[in-house]
Structure 1
Amino acid sequence: MPVVTAEGESAELSLLDVLRRAEDLSHLSCSTPGEGVALVDYLLAICFASGVFPGSTEEWHVWVAERQGLGRAAEWLAGEPDDAWDLFHPERPLGQNILLGHLMAEHGTGPAQLVLERVGDYVQFFDHHHLEHPASLTAAEAFRAMLTQHVYGLSGRARISGKTLGPRLTNLSAGRLQGRIRVVVQGRMVGDTLRMNLYPAAGGPGRFNHSWTGEGVDRRTFDVRPPGRATSGPADLHSYLGRSVLLQAAPRKDGESVMVDRVLIGAGELLTLDPERDLEDAVLGKKINGHRKPLWPSPTRALWRNAHSLYAAARDEEKGLFGRLRDLTFPTQGNRTVCRLWAVGLLANKTVASTWTEGFFPYAPSLGEELCVASRRGSDIAEHVAWSLERAAYAAWKVQYPNPKPADRPAQQARFDARREFWPDAEAPFLRLLEATAYGDPVPLSLLGYAGELRTHAEEFLRNRLDSLPHNARGLQARARAERRFHDDLASPKGPEELRGETYT
């Protein structure tokens, strides 16, 4: 079955093709970041299930440095029975729950419900794409959408009536990665990416979840909401069935591609995750009530503004993905190891998907401390410039509106607040700062250039905002007060030295 399009390819590749050509493929093209993460996780599950994973941290370093082949994973998959990987098997459809089959005719909906970004709260339509929309999905599109649902599916209530299947099944559980940032290490080729994200499996790889039934697993039933089950290993973790879902193939004529025209979705599996085993890539913060909470996506703070958290984890963590990365030594770019930390999260308003947030951050293990300094200082500089812009807006507002109504203040002050333009603009200079640091440029000089660029752009954004002031005495006074406040704040000894043209020490 075709699964995904690779960069530079005109036709979609199967899972087997991807594994066989992993050393030649630079990128797998997916429609959303979440879909890309879900596909990588599924490929990792296949590697684990086939026994293709390092036995220790030391072996992992050798695997990555010597580019250990993934051919055994491809051989294992090629030797698997076809019906174990059949998306439309009559008894054990891949990744699905055949127990929903007798309800498809009455309760099935259009395939739009399968696409996480379209379904809203799984009852109402979203993005002008109604759940009964008749447009079919190709088998490949449906498969990738199903994987995304398994990993990122939101909580809420499915469209199946509780009188039909019981409320325990129709109340959807949140996916394994919903609510936290997933970090994938990206290499030059797909093979490099898979190797760097494989890891020693304490206790063995565990089972692979082909289908809801016939796996020897006690999964959630229609009437009972059991406690979360512990994973049997990474193959289980990365292939778990986060949704009880069933796809229906549309009738086709000879020579036509298989299409999906109806779907049915219920609740998924419940897992009890082991922080020591099941959160390999999590960026853990400070302890709250005795537990360290993973970094989560924020609707008000772009992901790049938390890049320092990733670099701090790579510098400080002793276990998991970040603990292994720190000692990576093989050269892939010149004389340095340079890969990317791909961070992905799903932003949602309760049960409604909002948007994806993602960031690509270069990483060189030999320059871990420098990247920590650059990202932390770069974030501090941007925060201080934004704070100065807010203070300048307040200064202009105080002069221009001497007797405002309290309810009018937010809109009046927003007229002069240039942060809306500043924050999106600051991302590109920040990423250039990290890129230069990863390739060995001196951090103090890079920070000076970065600070100067942010300052110049912020001045322009503020000037454009203040141009809306009238050209009278009050307007001129408001402009002068705002510009003076802005420059005084940038030159304050309490702010970053780089904004004053000094080198950080």
Structure 2
Amino acid sequence: MVTTGGRTESRTLLQVFRSADEDIKTLAGSTPGETVALFELLMAICYASKSNPPVPETWLAAVENRQPFDLAVKWLEDQPGSSWDLFHPTEPLGQNSLLAPFMDAHAVGPAQLVIEHVGDYNQFFDHHHLVHPSPLTAERAFRAMLTQHAYGLSGRARISGKATLGDTITNLATGRLGARIRVIALGETLGDTLRLNLAPTARRGTFNHTWTVSGLPRRGFQAKPDGRPVDGPADLHSVLGRSILLSPCTLANGETGVDRVLVGAGELLAPLPDSLVQDAVYTGTGTTAKPLAPSPARALWREAHALYAAVADRNKRLDLYHRLATLADRPVSLWAVGLVANKTAPLSWLSDSFPYRPGREEDLRHAAHTGSQLAEYVAVSLVKAAEAARRIAYPNPKPADKKLQTARFDARPEHWAATEQPFHILLDKVVAGACVAESLQDYGATLAQSATVFLERRLDSLPANARGFQARADALRTLTSELSKAKAPDQLKPKESGREHHDRHQHQR
């Protein structure tokens, strides 16, 4: 699926590469993760067809000159049709045909192919919905399969190892993108986006068309194998993270669909070198550094400073961010995507875009870091105000009740939900060249004003009596005090009028 001038439509792979710089703006999956999975497929084709620059010195010219994707088109045209057949009897695209003898006896409904529909993989829970044979279209099944290869969660597969390929086929490992934030630099067109993200290397690697036809060694399923080394970026971006087999059916409209599937463990990879994770954003330093991971407790914008730090500290290694810094004064967007899960159960997709302009790295990092700190300080102040209200409203609470009583007046959820837009406005101002200090002052004033409004709305539930009035007054006084303390960030403190400034200095004298 691609977006062209605001419309979403389907295109063949050949059409995508032929029109990548003409009318195709972006890819459009049904979820952020599915969109990333489609992008990974195109990246793998680019590497396999040698459409990426061979050396770093030619990367910038390829981007600026809009190097066409003629090599990718020719590579696809030269591929035998069987290589791209989703339902080939022995070489199905992206699948493991070794599962074919077990389809009739063990396959279940295609819902388990879709990450968002599976729920917890734990085989001891009731998963009757996964057995239902309600079919998927072939296109939907293909996109869901790509997403599983990249983002599939760990757990126990709904497949019998003893009755199929071996005991370890039930042990699902976390997909290569399932535990970290994937960052993609977005350009003006799909072609521009591909060129921005294609790393310069002469070692491209092997494209994984299917499990059984490949020069790469495949694992067995009798025992857990060691992870195999990746032979290049084409291999990585097309790796078969699951053993999947789709069973075709005819839909009511006469088109081909999928009504049953088998899903089991797929490839296990050895630890990847930095050269193959060019987009990774790291938190921590030295031996404690690790890739930025999605969190259910923190929205992506609250970690934007880590992303900008990756650009600002580009002297550490040659990667995506080092290359982006060479784009002169050209702005791009950095799109970050992650899958939030509770152990083996997917919860939601996180995605957000952050503006970037070469030369503004340090200002963006400072703005993002300070902006996050201001939001954190306001959140702490709000919970202190909520506790002040609770102490008056509930003078003799049971210890076990305090948390829920405080939550009644705690406006942090409203604060976090409302801060995302001002934060992005802050970054947009900095990218546009605005004064960072003034932009942070405006941002801080917005947060302080909004916090008071959100707290007042929470306090509206207090009764209209002496205790209620006192609780309200104490909570608002606490919030004002916290935002005015000497240790409070200056951006959150109310601005003094000219007269107040004069009187304060006269008093100090």
Q: Distance in 2 between matches of 1:124 and 1:131?
A: 11
- Consecutive unaligned residues of structure 1, counting only runs of 5 or more, are 330-335
Q: Distance in 2 between matches of 1:103 and 1:457?
A: 60
The aligned counterpart of 2:297 is 300
1:6 and 1:28 in contact (8 A); partners too: no
Corresponding position of 1:389: 382
In the alignment, the residues of structure 2 paired with residue 306 and residue 245 of structure 1 have an alpha-carbon distance, to the nearest angstrom, of 35
Q: 1:126 and 1:29, CA in 2 relative to 1: closer, same or farther beyond 3 A?
A: farther
| Equivalent residue number for residue 496 of structure 1 | 489
Distance of 1:448 and 1:66 partners within structure 2 = 41
Cα offset for 1:162?
Answer: 2.8
Of stretches 166-175 and 236-245 in structure 1, the one that deviates more from structure 2 is: 166-175
Matched to 1:91, the amino acid is T
Change (3 A) 1:296 1:127: farther
In structure 2, the partner of 1:219 is 218
- Indicate the residue corresponding to 1:112 in structure 2: 111
Give the whole-Å Cα distance in 1 for the aligned partners of 2:320 and 2:218: 29
Matched with 1:66 is 65
Instruction: State the alpha-carbon separation in 2 of the partners of residues 161 and 178 from structure 1.
Output: 24
Corresponding letter in the other structure for 1:357? L
Counting matched residue pairs gives: 492
Which residue of the partner structure matches residue 171 of structure 1?
171
Distance 1:127 1:19, change over 3 A: farther
Residue by residue over 1:278-308, the C-alpha shift from the partner in whole angstroms, topping out at 9 and shown as x without a partner, is: 22111012247x3521000111111111111
Task: Check whether the contact 2:44–2:235 (CA below 8 A) recurs between aligned residues.
Answer: yes
What residue identity is the alignment partner of 1:282? A
* Counterpart position of 2:440: 447
Within a 5 Å distance, the mapping from 1:355-434 to structure 2 comes to 355-434=348-427
Matched, 1:314 2:307: no
> Which residue of structure 2 aligns with residue 198 of structure 1?
198
In the superposition, relative to structure 1, how do residues 337 and 128 fare at CA in structure 2: closer, same or farther (>3 Å)? farther
Counterparts of 2:36 and 2:221, CA distance in 1: 29
Tell me the residue number matched to 2:462: 469
Contact kept? 2:122, 2:344, Cα under 8 Å: no
CA distance in 2, matches of 1:25, 1:150: 25
**Partner-residue secondary structure (3-state), 2:333:** strand
- Counterpart mapping for 1:54-203 below 5 A: 54-122=53-121, 130-165=129-164, 166-201=166-201
Deviations 1:131-164 (A, max 9, x none): 1233211111111100000000011111111321
Which moved further from structure 2: 186-195 or 320-329? 320-329
- Give matches, 1:232-247, under 5 Å: 232-247=231-246
In structure 2, the CA distance between the partners of 1:447 and 1:124, relative to structure 1 (3 Å rule), is same
Q: In the alignment, which residue of structure 1 is the partner of 2:283?
A: 285
Alignment of 1:323-334 (within 5 A): 323-329=322-328
User: Is 1:347 equivalent to 2:369 in the alignment?
Assistant: no
In terms of mean alpha carbon deviation, does 470-479 or 26-35 score higher? 470-479
Q: 1:390 to 1:129 in 2, by over 3 A?
A: farther
Q: Deviation per CA, 1:405-458, whole angstroms, max 9, x where unpaired?
A: 000001100011000111011101111111121111221121121111111111
Q: Distance in 1 between matches of 2:66 and 2:126?
A: 43
The AA in structure 1 aligned to 2:258 is V
1:271 alignment partner AA: L
TM-score, normalised by the number of residues in structure 1: 0.93
Q: Give yes or no for the alignment of 1:20 onto 2:13.
A: no
Amino acid at match of 1:461: F
Deviation, 1:129, is 8.4
Other structure's SS at 2:163 match: helix
Residues 119 and 346 of structure 2 are in contact (CA less than 8 Å); yes or no, is this contact kept in structure 1?
Answer: yes
Q: 2:449 & 2:70 partners in 1: Cα distance?
A: 52
1:2-13 alignment runs, 5 A limit: 8-9=6-7, 11-13=9-11
TM-score (normalised: structure 2): 0.93
Tell me how far 1:180 sits from its aligned partner. 0.6
Partner of 2:263: 265
In 2, the alpha carbon distance for the partners of 1:218 and 1:116 equals 27
Identical pairs, percent: 53
1:56 Cα deviation after fit = 2.4
What SS does the aligned partner of 1:183 have?
Answer: strand
CA–CA separation in structure 1 for the residues paired with 2:157 and 2:77: 36
Q: Are the aligned partners of 1:139 and 1:260 in contact in 2 as well (CA < 8 Å)?
A: yes
- In structure 1, distance between residues paired with 2:152 and 2:2: 20
* Distance in 1 between residues matched to 2:333 and 2:172, nearest whole Å: 34
Native 8 Å contact 2:2 2:24 kept in 1: no
Q: 1:502 to 1:10 in 2, by over 3 A?
A: closer
Residue pair 2:8, 2:28 contacting (<8 A) in 1 also: no
Letter of the 2:283 partner, please give it. G
2:502 alignment counterpart:
none
> SS where residue 163 of structure 1 aligns?
coil
Tell me: CA distance 1:245–1:428, structure 2 relative to 1, closer, same or farther (3 Å): same
Contact 1:390-1:417 within 8 A present in 2 as well:
yes
Secondary structure (helix, strand or coil) at the match of 1:164 reads: coil
Residues in 2 aligned to 1:40 and 1:498: alpha-carbon distance in whole angstroms: 41
Q: Secondary structure at the match of 2:322?
A: helix
| Letter of the 2:469 counterpart | L
- For 1:62 and 1:291, locate their aligned partners in 2 and report how far apart those are by CA, in whole Å: 36
Deviations 1:467-491 (A, max 9, x none): 1112222221111111111011111
Tell me the secondary structure at the aligned position of residue 351 of structure 2.
Answer: strand
Amino acid at match of 1:363: Y
- Structure 2 equivalent of residue 333 of structure 1: none
Q: Contact (CA 8 Å) 2:302, 2:372: kept in 1 or not?
A: yes
